[in-house]
Amino acid sequence: MLSLKVNRKTYSVDVEPETPLLWVIRDSIGLTGTKFSCGKALCGACTVHVNGKPVRSCVVPASQVVGQEITTIEGLSPNAQHPAQIAWREADVPECGYCQSGQIMAAAALLANKPNPTDADIEREITNLCRCGTYLRIRQAIHRAAQIAARA
């Protein structure tokens, strides 16, 4: 049994210590907003925050994050009102939407670290893949989120 703190709640989970955090979040805890896509940290669809930093949960053993603050898309904000989520809706970013939880979590971590990121910051920090090619709208939404956060 491992004890994990996800979205400010503590869960005891019956998993092998090396089980990737992604599958603990999805199968044991039942939060399915965090997505499986590559399993090798190549695409970022599984991005969550550990102590506020973005990590690709498909390659993080659950035992490594015991006692740490894990945040998933479901816990990013009450009522999906994080500036990135507001901006994502305004810009109508998602197409198939499968990668967007990971994109938003990566963007939220960037914005927390750099409240007013440049295009170069975004290119460097947001390396998540999107098969539908929403990249231009994601960039636009991140700039918009920075404005929303500054106003708040």
Partner 1 sequence: MSTNREINRREFIVTTAAVGGGLALGLTFPMSSAGLALDAAKISARPWESLAGKGDIEVDPWVVIAPDDTVTLRIGQSEMGQGVITSCAKMLAEELECDWSKVRAEYVSVNRHFRENKVYKRLLTTSSSSVRLGRPYLQQAGASARERLMAAAAQTWGVPRSELTVKDSVITHKPTGRTLRYGQVAQNAAAIKLSAEPNIKTPDQFTLMKKPTKLLDAPLKVDGSAVYGIDVRLPGMLYAAAKASPVFLGKVKKYSADAVKSRPGVHAVVEFSGPQIEAGVAVVADTYWRAKTALDLLPIEWDEGSHGSDNSEGFFKMSRAVLEEPGAKVVTQLGEPEAVLKSSSQIVEAIYEVPYLDHTVMEPFNCTAQVTPDRVEIWVGSQDPEVATMDASKITGVPVEHIYLHNCFLGGGFGRRGNQDDVRQAVSIAKQLDGRPVKVIWSREETMRHGYYRPMRVSRFRAALGPDGKPLAWTTRVIGIDEDYPGDEQTIRGLHQLPYQVPNQLFDYHLRKTHVPTGPWTSVGRSQNEFFLETFVDELAHAAGKDPFQYRRTLLEGNPDLRFSKAWVQVLSAVTAKTDWGRQLPAGTGMGIAIGDSRRLSRKEYTICAAVATVSVSKKGEVRVERFDVAMDTGPFLVNPLAAERQVEMQVTMGLAATLRQEITIEKGRVVQSNFDDYPLLRATEIPEIGVHWVRATDDPIAGIGEEVVGWVAPAVCNAIFAATGKRIRSLPLKNHDLSWT
Closest CA to 100 of 44, 59, 145: 44
Tell me the one-letter amino acid at 103: Q
Residue 20 is given by DSSP the state: B
Q: State the nearest-atom distance from the C-beta of 99 to partner 1, in Å.
A: 5
Cα 151 → chain centroid: 23
Q: State the nearest-atom distance from the C-beta of 123 to partner 1, in Å.
A: 5
Residue 56 binds partner 1 (CB under 8 A)? no
Question: From CA 12, how far away is CA 15, in angstroms rounded?
Answer: 9
Q: State the nearest-atom distance from the C-beta of 10 to partner 1, in Å.
A: 20
* Contacting partner 1 within 92-111 (CB under 8 A): 92-101, 104
Q: Which two tokens stand for residue 14?
A: 């019956």
What residues make contact with partner 1 under the rule CB under 8 A? Answer: 15-16, 19-20, 23, 26-28, 30-40, 42-43, 45, 72-74, 80, 85, 88-101, 104, 118-119, 122-123, 126-140, 143-144, 147
